[in-house]
Chains A and B, each alone.
Chain A
Amino acid sequence: MSQADEQPQAVGGLDPKATHVAVEWKYDHPLINCRFDPQARFVFATSEDRTIQRWEIASGTRVGMSGHDSWARGITFSADGETMITSGYDDTLIWWKTADAEPKPLNTVKAHKGWIRAVATSPDGKLLVSGGNDKLVRIWNHADGTAVRELSGHEKDIYSIQFHPSGEFLLTGDLAGQVKQWDVATGALVRTFDGKALHTYNGGQRVDYGGVRSISFSPDLKTMACGGLHKATNPLGAVNEPLVLLFDWETQELKKSLVAEGTKAIAWRTVYHPSGFLICAAGGSGGGFLLFWQPDEEKEFHKFKLPDTAREMDLHPDQIQVATVHYDRHLRISKMVAKPEEKKG
């Protein structure tokens, strides 16, 4: 633990405007993604050195895990939190025991031809879903990694996956800003949400850019939030701003576009807080931020600047702590509560 002004623990007094960095843990290489395990014993981060790093939250003890032959990007857990599955840019899914002293790969499945950016567990814990640069969505038995179904229809690389909390539907988002709703039981494509505002084709640079970087449902399940970027005037130069689209789940109507004007960053992950506001980890040439929106207001109600550009984020089960990972090799845990008064004398 490099700096720890507080021990991470569940606390009350939620106040996003009081968000502050409570804990910083440093690794040897830039970090890519992070997730708390469902039992909140650990926080995991993937790294540019192809490892996965596990920090025990209570002690800050770190354990490294090796198995992927490239960067790991996706992280998901079994319903009980005892098994973790990671997806990599090496086409593979790897199963791990979450709490083993030194976790080793238990099962490795070559799941796609190309990067697997996203992976998710069904609400009942029985299914695992992965999405790849091969433009395919694949459904697996969570327990053993045997194939269940393959879903095709995306025309661009798949960037994000989210189960509808009912478990009935699966949502997958791609580079072109298209979000497909699939019937989990049959594999049928139900609808496509058009999030093209999250995609840019720059004719001068001849590149596609953007994509649906994350999908989240509102606590009342009436709204689906899709995060990413817009105003990409120079994709190759990281000139863009965060954008979150709020779709009415029933009608597919675009209800609101959440922006952070002047913030040169990508909305890497956006999640609904159970109390109803949205939290976004944004990072880019303008720095790293936690952005907070009320769903009925276009502009953010709070913007918390992080010490370095943020690349991913996860909300702790206590709904107070937020983990972010950074280029400067740090995993940071911020708290959305007032900072404790410093002891005097």
Chain B
Amino acid sequence: MKCTYACKSPEHQFARRNFMGSLAAAGGAVVGGLGVFSQQSIAEQLQKDQKRVLVVNMAGGLSQLESWDPKPGTKTGGPFRAIPSSVPGMYISELLPQTAQQMHHMALARGVNTRNNDHGKGTYMMMTGRRQTPASNFPRIGAVVSKALGADKNSLPGHIHVSNGGGSRNNDAAYLGPMFASVTVGSGTPPNNSARPDGLTEASDLSRNSFRRKVNENFTLRRRTAVTDIYTQNYERAIQLMQKRDVFDLAKESDKDHERYGKHQFGQHCLMARRLLENGVTFVQVTHSNYDTHNENFNFHHEQLGEVDGPFASLIADLVDRGMWESTLVVVLSEFGRTPNINKYYGRDHWGTAWTICMGGAGLQRGAVYGETNKEGTAVTDGEVDQGPLFHTYLEALGIDSSGTFDIGGRPVPVADPAFQPIKELLA
């Protein structure tokens, strides 16, 4: 959906004035739209609390049986054992011994049934809280919370995916506009070209930026669109980012932390996530790949979760120790789980029927388990939920009214699928 301001609505006229005013002050706020909040004071309170989100995406389909819902000693259980966690009565896989000691901070939804076994659809469902249909495109969770939490007021991008490569802005904000689309960072060094060139003096830089703003102002008086907005914002963001380029520099972290998190990619990405969250980035997503283990599921989960356990547990412990736990929502998700049945190749296949989401932090019960599967993990026996209630729960945990709406071009658009409600039992 193209985001145009040709409607000339009062909201956008107002927003344009705000935009120009903020540019004059070299600020970053551009587009309004806190329609999700019934009172401005709530939005201010949220900003004061600096709510943040970390999503850990276990790409490919993490096996619930080798992680959050083990069934040892059953036909479907596989070779791994269950170990006690820091929550009495809560057992998780032996592949996550360090994470097990952090589970009193976390909560599990063990009755997830998304009725989907397709990678693409599953990712869409878990990231948007809605089923994918040809006629619509909904913003991903990072875009939703960035907008709802006013991340556009911050000097750093509000929606960041930590991954290899970097620098690109992705197409995942749908009608919320490119302002809330994710930016990919992850090399562990400041973004390329973020330092002022040696041959350019500070005075010259200020002068040329001042000239650019004047030209922009003339242009946008009659031709302003979301595209021109993001074009302008990118310049302003780039200037601010140049001033905060050290935020992306993992060399600023201690050797001890590098050791603790691990020098492999996932460890470095977790350390980057901590650094970004500490510096006020609203939404950070870290992805670990790959769990699509149709072959040798147990070898590969041993391999992959062996890499995840230490840095993930360190990250949770650090967020707690640094006083960020009450304001940071952490969600460990995947597009689906894996079959209880073990196939011919010691693999497990796609399985959306009975699997688990792990979450914790802001606004959530600590040490809670909601939902249950049967003895062999083949069906949900209690507390069945799908992407809808989970998405509402994430938003409510952040203090966002999940039944609220965004104001998109003067039209109210629900922030979450209105057919669902949050899981009250998981909310603090």
Interface set of A (CB-CB < 8 Å, partner B): 29-30, 48-50, 69-71, 89-90, 114-115, 133, 157, 204-209, 235-238, 283-285, 308-309, 327
Closest to A30 in B: B342
- A-B CB proximity, top 4 nearest: A238-B295, A71-B79, A89-B79, A327-B344
Cβ of B296 within 8 Å of any chain A Cβ, yes or no, is yes
The SS class assigned to the B binding surface is loop
Closest to A28 in B: B75
Question: Which residues of B377-423 are within 8 A (CB) of A?
Answer: none
Q: How far is the CA of A289 from the CA of B75 in the complex (A)?
A: 26
Q: What chain A residues lie within 8 Å of B345 (beta carbons)?
A: 238, 284-285, 309
Name the contact of B302 in the complex, choosing from A50, A133, A204 (C-beta under 8 A): A133
Q: What chain A residues lie within 8 Å of B290 (beta carbons)?
A: 204-207, 236
Q: What chain B residues lie within 8 Å of A209 (beta carbons)?
A: 296, 299
Say whether B295 contacts A236, CB under 8 Å: yes
Q: What chain A residues lie within 8 Å of B299 (beta carbons)?
A: 209
Question: Which residues of B293-320 are within 8 A (CB) of A?
Answer: 293-296, 299-300, 302-304
Closest to A308 in B: B344
Say whether B347 contacts A238, CB under 8 Å: yes
CB distance from B294 to the nearest CB of A (A): 5
CB distance from B75 to the nearest CB of A (A): 7
Say whether B347 contacts A208, CB under 8 Å: no
CB distance from B60 to the nearest CB of A (A): 7
Q: What chain A residues lie within 8 Å of B80 (beta carbons)?
A: 70, 89
Q: How far is the CA of A238 from the CA of B79 in the complex (A)?
A: 20
Closest to A29 in B: B75
A-B contact list, 8 entries, CB within 8 Å? A48-B75, A70-B81, A115-B302, A207-B304, A209-B296, A236-B60, A236-B294, A284-B295
How many residue-residue contacts, CB under 8 A, span A and B? 64
Say whether B79 contacts A309, CB under 8 Å: no
Size class of B's contact patch?
20 to 34
CB distance from B289 to the nearest CB of A (A): 5
Q: What chain A residues lie within 8 Å of B304 (beta carbons)?
A: 206-207
CB distance from A72 to the nearest CB of B (A): 9
Q: What chain B residues lie within 8 Å of A89 (beta carbons)?
A: 79-80
Q: What chain B residues lie within 8 Å of A207 (beta carbons)?
A: 290, 300, 303-304
Name the contact of B293 in the complex, choosing from A70, A115, A133, A236 (C-beta under 8 A): A236
CB distance from A234 to the nearest CB of B (A): 8
Say whether A90 contacts B294, CB under 8 Å: no
Which of B78, B79, B293, B347 has the most A CB atoms < 10 Å from its CB?
B79
CB distance from B62 to the nearest CB of A (A): 13
Q: What chain A residues lie within 8 Å of B265 (beta carbons)?
A: 206
Cβ of B21 within 8 Å of any chain A Cβ, yes or no, is no
Q: How far is the CA of A29 from the CA of B73 in the complex (A)?
A: 12
Name the contact of B292 in the complex, choosing from A90, A236, A308 (C-beta under 8 A): A236
CB distance from A255 to the nearest CB of B (A): 29
Say whether B342 contacts A90, CB under 8 Å: no
CB distance from A102 to the nearest CB of B (A): 20
Name the contact of B289 in the complex, choosing from A70, A206, A208, A237 (C-beta under 8 A): A206
CB distance from B309 to the nearest CB of A (A): 13
